[in-house]
Amino acid sequence: MAVKTVLVYPEPLLKELSVPIDGFDDSVRNLLQDLVDTMIDAGHSVGIAAPQIGDLRRAVVVDVSNSKLGKKQQNHGLIQMVNPEIIEREGSCEVREGCMSVPDYTGNVTRAESIVVQYQDENNQHRVIRAEGFEAIAIQHEIDHLDGLLFLDRVSSLKTGLFRRKH
């Protein structure tokens, strides 16, 4: 479909709660494709959520298979999720995260090491998967966007856990 402009913090839409998608039609398929196209166009991105392109529906895409962290672990490749919900969390780890919507900073965030997530895929099929490591972290990050949360909201200390990117 199309590469969309990624909204950047402090854009107010990034803090809004996304609404569930009822009914699976071409507009949902188009949204998912726009997310895939925008993520791929960014070159370095491993995921993007609909609010980041100004759409407040509950949809995200994640693909860690081309990142150096994702290649080291089992992953599911490109995952397109409609109405994703984490139904199980295990473990805890602190990781450094970045975000296309917060381009100038990275931050230390605590995430679950392993999750089980349920969603509808791009074919409107109900799926339940277990994700671990970097893939689990990426999925949690993208689902946070659907709830109006940025990694900045999860940084333990803005004084010691937030870092300016070197460009």
Q: Which of 89, 24, 86, 28 is nearest to 57 (CA)?
A: 28
Question: Pick the catalytic residue: 97, 122, 135, 142?
Answer: 142
One-letter-per-residue 3-state SS of 18-71: CECCCCCCHHHHHHHHHHHHHHHHHCCCCEEEHHHHCCCECEEEECCCCCHHHH
Q: Which of 147, 165, 158 is nearest to 20 (CA)?
A: 147
Q: What angle do CA 95, 155, 59 make, to 5 degrees?
A: 75
Q: Is 142 a catalytic residue?
A: yes
Q: How far is CA 117 from the centre of its chain?
A: 13
Per the CB < 8 A criterion, the answer to whether 80 and 121 are in contact is yes
**What gap in Å lies between CA 87 and CA 101, rounded to an integer?**
26
**What gap in Å lies between CA 162 and CA 156, rounded to an integer?**
9
Active-site residues: which are they? Answer: 142
